[in-house]
Amino acid sequence: MTDTLALAQQTLLAPASLGDADLDRVLASVLTHRVDYADLYFQYSRYESWSLEEGQVKSGSYNVEQGVGVRAVSGEKTGFAYSDEILLPALSDAANAARAIARAGGNGEAHVGSKLAVRDARRVILYAPIDPLASLEDAAKVKLLEAVEQEARRADPRVKQVMASLVGVQDTILVARSDGQLAADVRPLVRLNVTVIVEYDGKRETGSSGGGGRVRYSHFLEEGRAQHYAREAVRQALVNLDAGEAPAGPMKVVLGPGWPGILLHEAIGHGLEGDFNRKGTSAFSGRVGERVASEGVTVVDDGTLADRRGSLNVDDEGTPTQKTVLIEDGILKGYMQDTLNARLMGVAPTGNGRRESYAHLPLPRMTNTYMLPGQRDPAEIIAAVDRGLYAVNFGGGQVDITSGKFVFTASEAYLIENGRVTRPVKGATLIGNGPDVLTRVTMVGNDLALDSGVGTCGKDGQSVPVGVGQPTLLIDGLTVGGTQS
Amino acid sequence: MKKTQESKTMNSGLHEQESSLRAVVSDVLAEAKQQGASSAEASSSMSQGLVVNVRLGEVETVEHTRDKGLAITVFFGQKSGSASTSDFSPGAIRDCVRAAATIARYTAADDCAGLADPDQLAREIPDLDLYHPWNPGVDRAIALATECEDAARGADPRIVNSEGASLSTHDGIEVYGNSHGFLGAVATSRHSMSCAVIGEDESGMQRDYWYTADRKAAGLEAPSKVGHEAAARTVRRLGGRKLATRKTPVLYEAAIAASLLSHFIGAIRGTSLYRRSSFLLDQLGQPVFAPHVRIHEQPFLRGALGSTPFDNDGVAPSSRDIVRDGILQGYVLDVYSARKLGMKSTGNAGGVHNLTLQPGEQDLAGLLRQMGTGLFVTELIGFGVNGVTGDYSRGAAGFWVENGVIQYPVEEITIAGNLKDMYRNLVAVGNDVDLRGNTRTGSILIDGMTLAGS
């Protein structure tokens, strides 16, 4: 962690000859204006992407983004400004703009900025401060995408188009806070995606797969992962080529393990973010201690899983991430917090303060959200359903926090008839009510899986990488939005 | 007096910004040539803004935004690479070009890669009246947002909570240039005000919102009007019921109907066509909508949110019909996808411009009467659209209508169909056109959809 801090200081502060004393002075200048709390968020982010279509890598791009965000908090009020230049004058300008918030009246409890000190660091780091962009030769990145394409074409002659992309990011951040804490993180992130179009007998369909994490590109070369994504995309597309109309109406739904955990993210995750609950605008507001799920259902948000896409050593306010129990054996235990909402609600921050970049304000956000496994064999769960839907892959989802209504859209689904998976049906949107959907969980599988590392969550126009996971689940009565009534 | 001074400062700021961006783009193109690129294109932008949020009568956030960026694509013969940065220093420009050139070394030669042909580039750059900076100052911005939220909170006793009201103002300038000698600048502004409130009764809580947006501050709806609309939309949703599964006509409210057109544009974009990943392949000259439907784009509408004198390739867009009498007249192409298809760019690099669904004669009440019994949808959630097959299934909320009269709010339902059928079953378009975005449409009535509920 100290190495990470040194690395971050070298990357972010050294080019402008900024030292801890400068940061102390800027923070102190913000704090003179009846401000309770202030922070500086420095960021240097490098991003590359390579895309393949029609068998060739025809385009690639490289992007550098850097800047510093200055936040001043006075009671419930936040002033915010940023600059894309990490230089002392620009930093001072941003600080002046941000601290003006206190003019509108504050609590007036200015803490004197103690000298910056490294936060008591986590002993184990969750991912190494590597540069994924440099972890593989450019020629090998091109070859990797070509290998994905070849595998997809080899898998089936009905494959007509293969589109694949490889993305790598190295994000270096440093947070200096008015309470004297200083934290840094170097966050690698890679992702490989493949989409295929299959065509047969005048019908066309699509399938997608992919994965990634806070690792080197070699992740995709190991265990045949890249080729597996290619075959998986083809398999999904071919299943859909044969799919009939999806059913319409409420029915028993069996959700497969892994990525279908997007259910948890939409149905309950967003509703348990601290800001909505502090404001009383969530369907879950004021419900801690109440039953919101069946017995045996435990859901956590865990930012501490090694190498995971949704993991962070520290969040964007410098708070170490943690494993937060959201629902324990069906009872709502707590919310996910950033420092602002935690302070206003009188609870501890949970390491969920995240921001898309220096140019955005932190918000309470999820990391990796998943349900712990139960006892049931997945085969036993399917066998228990007379008629229902077995949904194993999903596209995106969305939720209305206030009414609690949420959707998520299946991209691979089958009918279950008399306890057996029979035939594929087209993708359809599933809709339910967040506060009661988990009370309809009647069986929980023993096969917990996390997703392969492709999730991105949007809130207030800000995107952050997240993870989800769950075991196989049986839900008694979700509305399936097909066309066959 | 103060205002005049402020706007003067802004204008001289604009000139400075424009010349500095022109210089950056020229420099980066020169650097590309220096590094051996056979051709290159670059775009560069600067923008600034203020966003103020007020909640429950108190300031919640004040955000000052200031952004700039530079993006370049270099071509070495038919090979290309791209890079971008927010640092305009000579060293950063050199690095940026070098990064793009490095990528071009590894990408494959592509016959269709390259700049627009010189004769396609916009020759004139008309002033489309898109730049009306507004500098209300933080205090005035707070006052306007407060007035907006107060109006919403005072509108009905069932409004019990608020997500707040927001006032946002942005202006900026963008310069695009390429090694054919094209160099064009467009300055734009956009201001908006929005409000979201929570209503509650014995049935539970509901949230809804309203917003106004325009290039001119004077074009915004009054704060109280935005607040009242947000409150009315929230309160009318209280007591939402589920509906039983059925076949039904669906009336999409103007405010959410634009998504139907964006799925259509997605299907006739060049990229979707040459990848053969569209549900509308090979449909040029064929009926794709009901025979009464006209869809056109109007890139040169003065002061409109979707107007532009040239697209992201430097090509002039055109005022044209995309659908006439229900028949597909043209695709939505940029230079690259046009070459892939053996066609000409339609000036749509970066998208369509003021896409307009020709309004019909009836207002919303008229459309409700025409529908008789069916679903009036005011909110859609989720992403359940398959662009390859046209299969459509989305979460919805709205109102059940009988005999042309709204009966009660409904929620936790989905509506489904296939877009190919939905477009042909488009019964009518209202004259209640929503002008707050790049797509201009009234409410849209579609027959024969499946509603899934309880």
From CA A164, how far away is CA A19, in angstroms rounded? 43
- Please list the residues that pair with A165 across neighbouring strands: A51, A193
Q: Any CB–CB contact under 8 A between A461 and chain B? A: no
For B71, which residue in chain A has the nearest alpha carbon? A63
Which residues of chain A neighbour B381 with C-beta distances below 8 Å?
A: 398-400, 405-407
Using 50, 70 and 90 to split pLDDT, how confident is the model at B11? low
pTM higher than 0.90, yes or no?
A: yes
DSSP letter string over A193-228? Answer: EEEEEEEETTEEEEEEEEEEESS-GGGGTGGGHHHH
pLDDT of residue A101: 77
The answer to whether the Cβ–Cβ distance between A397 and B55 falls below 8 Å is no
Q: What is the pLDDT of residue A117?
A: 73
> Nearest residue on chain B to A139, judged by CA atoms?
B106
Q: Hey, is the C-beta of B204 within 8 angstroms of any chain A C-beta? A: yes
- Interface mutation target, options A63, A80, A236, chain B, most CBs of B under 10 Å: A63
Across chain A, how many H-helices and E-strands are there?
10, 23
CB contact under 8 Å between A80 and B247, yes or no, is no
> Could you say which residues from 132 to 151 on chain A have a Cβ atom under 8 Å away from some Cβ of chain B?
138-139, 141-142
Give me the DSSP letters along B352-419.
-SSEEEPP-S--HHHHHHHH-SEEEEEEEES--B-TTT-EEEEEEEEEEEETTEEEEEEEEEEEEEEH
Q: Give the 3-state secondary structure of residue B423.
A: helix
- To the nearest whole Å, the CA of A15 is away from the closest chain B CA by 13
**B203/A contact by beta carbon, under 8 A:** no
Residue B430 to residue B99: CA distance in whole angstroms: 51
- Residues B64-86: tens digit of each pLDDT: 999 999 999 999 999 999 999 99
CA A133 to each of CA A42, A61, A166, A213, B129: distance values in angstroms, whole numbers, following the listed order: 21, 12, 10, 13, 43
- Whether A29 and chain B come into contact, CB under 8 Å, resolves to no
Whether B454 and chain A come into contact, CB under 8 Å, resolves to yes
Residue B326's contacts (CB-CB under 8 Å, 6 or more residues apart) are B287, B288, B289, B290, B291, B292, B293, B424
Query: How close, in Å, is residue B394 to chain A by CA atoms?
Result: 6
Q: Do A254 and A389 touch, CB atoms closer than 8 A?
A: yes
Pick the residue from chain B with its C-alpha nearest to A80: B63
* A334: closest CA of chain B, how far (Å): 21
> How many contacts, defined by CB atoms under 8 Å, are there between A and B?
255
Evaluate whether B72 touches B83 at the Cβ level (below 8 Å): yes
Average pLDDT score over chain B: 95
B426 close to A (CB below 8 A): no
Task: Please give the C-alpha separations between residue A159 and each of A151, A208, A412, B439, in angstroms, as whole numbers.
Answer: 11, 12, 18, 35
Q: What angle do CA A339, A341, A343 make, to 5 degrees?
A: 65
A372: helix, strand or coil = coil
Interface test with A, best of B59, B65, B203, B418 (most A CBs within 10 A): B59
| B265-295: pLDDT as tens digits | 999 999 999 999 999 999 999 999 999 999 9
Continuous segment of H or E residues that includes residue A127: none
Question: Which of B72, B341, B388 would best serve as a mutation to test chain A binding (most A beta carbons within 10 A)?
Answer: B388
The answer to whether residue A175 neighbours chain B at the CB level (below 8 Å) is: no
Q: Which of A80, A344, A405 to mutate to test the interface with B (most CBs of B within 10 A)?
A: A405
Report the alpha-carbon distance of residue B51 to residue B55 in Å, rounded. Answer: 13
The closest of A335, A29, A2 to A182, measured between CA atoms, is A2
Q: B109: nearest CA in chain A?
A: A58
CB A412 within 8 A of CB A337: no
Beta-carbon count within 10 A of B282 CB: 10
B397 at interface of A, judged by CB pairs closer than 8 A:
yes
Q: Do A359 and B67 touch (CB under 8 A)?
A: yes
Given this model, what pLDDT does residue A162 score? 98
Q: Does A248 touch chain B (CB under 8 A)?
A: yes
Which residue of B lies nearest to A283 if distances are taken between CA atoms?
A: B205
pLDDT for res B5: 37
Backbone angles phi, psi at A382, to 5 degrees: -65, -40
Contact A56 B276 (CB under 8 A): no
Could you count the other beta carbons within 10 Å of the beta carbon of residue A224?
Answer: 12
List of chain B residues whose C-beta atoms are within 8 Å of the C-beta of residue A479: 242, 412-414, 452-454
**Among chain A residues, CA nearest to B78:** A58
How far apart are the C-alpha atoms of A133 and A169, rounded to whole Å? Answer: 7
Contact at CB, A163 and B275, closer than 8 angstroms: yes
CB A465 within 8 A of CB A456: yes
Residue B84 near chain A (CB below 8 Å):
yes
pLDDT by residue (tens digit) across B211-251? 999 999 999 999 999 999 999 999 999 999 999 999 999 99
Q: How far is CA A318 from the centre of its chain?
A: 18
Contact assessment for residue A152 and residue A234, using Cβ atoms and an 8 Å cutoff = yes
- Residue of chain B whose Cα is closest to the Cα of A203: B389
Among chain A residues, the shortest Cα distance to B244 is held by: A249
Q: Cα(A254)–Cα(A259) distance, rounded to whole angstroms?
A: 13
Q: Tokens at residue A245, please? A: 């109309």
Which residues in chain B have Cβ-Cβ distances shorter than 8 Å to A141?
Answer: 106
Chain-chain contact of A58 with B108 (C-beta, under 8 angstroms): yes
pLDDT surpasses 70 at B407: yes
**Residue B357 in this model has a pLDDT that exceeds 60:** yes
Residue B416 near chain A (CB below 8 Å)? yes
Whose structure tokens read 């989905």?
A: B414
Contact A59 B80 (CB under 8 A): yes
Q: Are strands A473-481 and A462-470 parallel, antiparallel or unpaired?
A: unpaired
* Res A31: pLDDT: 87
DSSP for residue B174: E
Q: How many CA atoms lie within 13 A of B398 on its CB side?
A: 28
**DSSP for B327-340?**
EE---B--HHHHHH
Check CB contact of A456 with chain B, cutoff 8 Å. Answer: no
The whole-angstrom separation of Cα B332 and Cα B268 is 6
Hunting for tokens 């550098």 — which residue is that? A64
B274 neighbors B110 (Cβ within 8 angstroms): no
Closest CA to A119 of A352, A348, A345, A313: A313
Residues contacting B184, CB < 8 A, separation 6+: B122, B125, B175, B176, B177, B309, B310, B314
Q: In this complex, which of A101, A204, A283 lies closest to B276 when CB atoms are compared? A: A204
Tokens linked to B394: 């989305």
> A317 near A343, Cβ under 8 Å?
no
Element (H, E) at A281: none
Chain A positions in Cβ-Cβ contact with residue B58 (cut-off 8 Å)? 76-77, 104
Spans in chain A with pLDDT lower than 70? 1-2, 33, 102-115, 119-123
The closest of A24, A46, A12, A384 to A189, measured between CA atoms, is: A46
Strand partners, A417: A387, A420
Q: Collapse the DSSP code of B52 into the 3-class scheme (helix H, G, I; strand E, B; otherwise coil) and give the result.
A: strand
Least Cα distance to B242 among B392, B397, B373 occurs for: B397
Other C-beta atoms lying within 10 Å of the C-beta of residue B183: 17
- How many other C-beta atoms can be found within 10 angstroms of the C-beta atom of residue B217? 17
Strands (E), B226-333: 246-252, 295-297, 320-324, 327-328
- Three-state secondary-structure class, residue B5: helix
Alpha helices in B132-173 (DSSP H): 137-154
Burial of B3 (0-12, 13-18, 19+ CB in 10 A): exposed
B200 in the Ramachandran plot: left (φ > 0), alpha (ψ -120 to 50) or beta? beta
Compute CA A284 distance to the chain's CA centroid, rounded to the nearest angstrom: 21
Indicate the burial class of B148 (C-beta count within 10 angstroms; 0-12, 13-18, 19 or more). buried
pLDDT at A102: 67
The pLDDT assigned to A3 comes to: 84
Q: Chain B: residue nearest A479 by CA?
A: B453
Nearest Cβ partner of A431 from B85, B100, B413?
B413
The label of the residue with tokens 């401060």 reads A129
Q: Does the pLDDT at position B95 exceed 50?
A: yes
A28 burial via Cβ count (<10 Å: 0-12, 13-18, 19+)? middle
Judged by CB atoms closer than 8 Å, whether chains meet at B395 and A283 is answered as: no
